[in-house]
Amino acid sequence: LATEPILQVAVPSPVRRLFDYLPPNDDGALRGLRPGMRVRVPFGGAHKVGLILAVATESAVPAERLRRVVAVLDSEPVVPEPLLDLVRWAAGYYHHPPGEVVEAVLPRALRGGRPATLRVPRRWRLTASGAGADPGALRSAPRQAVLLGELQASPEGLTARQLASHGGAWRPALRALVARGWVAMEEGPCLADEHPGEELPDPPLNRDQGAAVAAVLAAPDRFQAFLLDGVTGSGKTEVYLRLIREVIGRGRQALVLVPEIALTPQLMARFRQRLRVPLAILHSGLSDQERLCAWLAARDGRVGVVVGTRSAVFVPLARPGLFVVDEEHDLAFKQQDGFRYSARDLCVVRARSASVPVILGTATPSLESLYNATRSRYRRLVLPERAGPATPPQVELLDVRALPMNDGLSPPALRALEHALASGGQVLVFINRRGYAPTLTCHQCGWVAECHRCDAHMVVHQAESCLRCHHCTAVRALDRSCPACGAADLRAFGQGTERVEAALRTRFPDVGLVRIDRDSTRRRGSLERKLADVRGGTARILIGTQMLAKGHHFPDVILALVLNADAGLYSADFRAGERMAQLIVQVAGRAGRAERPGRVLVQTHHPQHPYLRALILRGYHGFCDAALAERRAAGFPPFAAIALLRAEAPRRGPPEDFLEQARACAEDTGCSGVELCGPVPAPMERRAGRFRAQLMVVTPLRGDLQRLLARWLPALERLPATRRVRWSLDVDPQEVL
């Protein structure tokens, strides 16, 4: 039949295109085949579950090669149209196979082709008022009375199946009990309790907060991106809360993205106290069913707010009203493998197509966002003051050149530490390296413990008595004598959190101390326990990696020491300086309150470095001015758009061959305004046993980059050399390593 529709399907495969199929043979299947429905299709030898992205009237594929859909898996689209738009946009922008983009969007529970319904049955249980209800009020409603009695006997709630097993027309009675407010339906563990006992009163907004709220509410039905640039403690969350409540009041939903799971509970707790709507959490720690539950609830408009990490940017929303990206500068919003999307950037794209505001909040804006604000693409809202009675900490450089160092601590740093402890305060020691020491070396022959699979040193982990590679999974026993010369004179060089902890325990044996890093918080609940020790005052010295710099506030910390800031100054990655500045400011933001302003000491061997000087003398925005001037001069982002083509293989040759051919392909496209850098070996060429190389594409104009990529990728895919490497394209890479 000439009139048969052609279904353009995204099939899970690394191929950068859609596949055309004919509708299934069974009768009636033609009715309403629409984009967003899942279909089972023959693909190669097997069957796969794909998603219809478009329905066309004709195909470029010869009719004899078209195959038929085996089954249509949904009677209604599972993915609503606005989210399909995001899929199409993202697949185009990131030049990623649409089938893999769909995999990122669809909850795992829907990828296998099972019906888009929860297997966790709904339950009904008594509410607080239902538990205290007087059964006498139900004298004229015997069914309700029976039902109430059954529910009273089952505090964990009853499912529809359980209720039906008692026979009779239970549904009207149940509906009546729900209407009385005595019984509530429950979806499952992913949805937070629907109604908190009491809504806390609003704290007053200060002038800047009020202005920020008013600015966003001035046009709630129009797309506008706001950069909420507020120092730590300035009350950004309160601004989000007020806006979210307005949005909910208008019957709309809000999506709030946070960089990591650890930050969701505190934000949820706060939202729960203040918002009388069902909330959903979405992060990688959920089970498939919990995730599906939250996803469906958001899609069907049954929750007012979704709080989630990176992948939550793909949650469908029935009535979006506001998007919030908290800590927008955080690297965690960029997926670092596979489909390398930026959740922050996609959030802005979503807001634009939904015609609603998006707020990017942070104390340390990324240079991209700051630049967007100066170009008026974003509107900047500033919260310059801490909301409570706190004063910003004083940041000072500590020139440690030629000073005798004790386990990474200089004498002035130790004196400051002693002084702070003596005056009854807490101290935070920040060192961005876990383990005991980054190097183990033989003092007799110079042998260094290296990873067999990476171009990296093994890190000494004293507590586990082992050597670990921080770039792959390699672990081995700590050598007792030198494997090269046999001498029993191995020494650990450099410092990690574990060593600083040991040194400070020896020096301050009577002072409570906690170490917070990935190693010491691996066990469930241990982070919470440590944070409780800090808040309760039993721990007065906190040592940790950047885990410590995120989210938590420690009001009794009156001194923060940054031990190794220099790592960010001379890195191969042009963003390293920006990350260092953000980290220092974030660490500084953890400390101090009004009566005890905090002090931050940054140890450095480069006190004259322009980045550090700008940061100390003129604050974070002073640093940004300096860094932006340098980026402009170098022609780097945000003054250019870049993409990185990476390749890796077990041997050294193939990645460079492939990238060399890729470079030739790029030149053959004849695109102008494009600069190709490389191919060059990655800064750590061998990692986990694989050799890595990269080719960077730089264009002053973003449009030129997209034009090039659109022509380049099809040519790249045809290159025979792709067979011998694993390759990937990273548009807007965050780590150029």
- The footprint of DNA (CB under 7 A) covers 13-15, 17, 19-22, 41-46, 59, 61, 65-67, 720, 723, 726
How far apart are CB 715 and DNA at their closest, in Å?
14
C-alpha 319/C-alpha 248 separation (Å) is: 10
Residue (56 or 485) nearer to DNA, CB: 56
Residue (167 or 720) nearer to DNA, CB: 720
Residues 628 and 594 sit within 8 Å (Cβ to Cβ): no
Looking at residue 200, the DSSP 8-state letter turns out to be P
Q: Residue 251: CB partners within 8 Å, gap ≥ 6? A: 319
How far apart are CB 292 and DNA at their closest, in Å?
23
Among 543, 533, 534, 535, residue whose Cα is nearest residue 505? 543
- For residue 76, what are the CA distances in angstroms to 36, 80, 115, 315? 8, 9, 11, 17
Residue (49 or 534) nearer to DNA, CB: 49
How far apart are CB 493 and DNA at their closest, in Å?
40
How far apart are CB 691 and DNA at their closest, in Å?
16
Residue (13 or 289) nearer to DNA, CB: 13
How far apart are CB 46 and DNA at their closest, in Å?
6
Residue (10 or 560) nearer to DNA, CB: 10
Residue (9 or 158) nearer to DNA, CB: 9
C-alpha 327/C-alpha 586 separation (Å) is: 10
How far apart are CB 22 and DNA at their closest, in Å?
7
Residue (67 or 632) nearer to DNA, CB: 67
Quote the tokens at residue 553. Answer: 């506030």
How far apart are CB 460 and DNA at their closest, in Å?
36
Residues 94 and 346 sit within 8 Å (Cβ to Cβ): no
Query: How many other C-beta atoms are found inside a 10 Å radius of the C-beta of residue 43?
Result: 19
Residue (14 or 172) nearer to DNA, CB: 14
For tokens 């800031």, the residue is 565
Backbone angles phi, psi at 448, to 5 degrees: -125, 135
How far apart are CB 723 and DNA at their closest, in Å?
5
Residue (15 or 466) nearer to DNA, CB: 15
Residues 324 and 240 sit within 8 Å (Cβ to Cβ): yes
Residue (136 or 720) nearer to DNA, CB: 720
Residue (44 or 197) nearer to DNA, CB: 44
Using N-to-C axis directions, what is the helix angle for 610-634 and 576-589, rounded to 10°? 140
Residues 420 and 554 sit within 8 Å (Cβ to Cβ): no
Exposed, middle or buried by CB within 10 Å (0-12, 13-18, 19+), for 470?
middle
C-alpha 344/C-alpha 326 separation (Å) is: 9
| Partner residues linked to 124 by β-bridges | 158, 185
Backbone angles phi, psi at 102, to 5 degrees: -60, -40
**Type of residue found at 395:** V
Residue (20 or 330) nearer to DNA, CB: 20
How far apart are CB 660 and DNA at their closest, in Å?
16
C-alpha 127/C-alpha 183 separation (Å) is: 5
Looking at residue 392, the DSSP 8-state letter turns out to be P
How far apart are CB 147 and DNA at their closest, in Å?
51
Say how many Å lie between the first and final Cα of the chain, rounded. 54
Cis peptide before 259 (omega within 30 of 0): no
How far apart are CB 65 and DNA at their closest, in Å?
5
C-alpha 475/C-alpha 494 separation (Å) is: 19
Q: Residue 571: CB partners within 8 Å, gap ≥ 6? A: 577
Quote the tokens at residue 298. Answer: 């958001």
How far apart are CB 68 and DNA at their closest, in Å?
7
Report strand pairing: 46-56 vs 67-68: unpaired
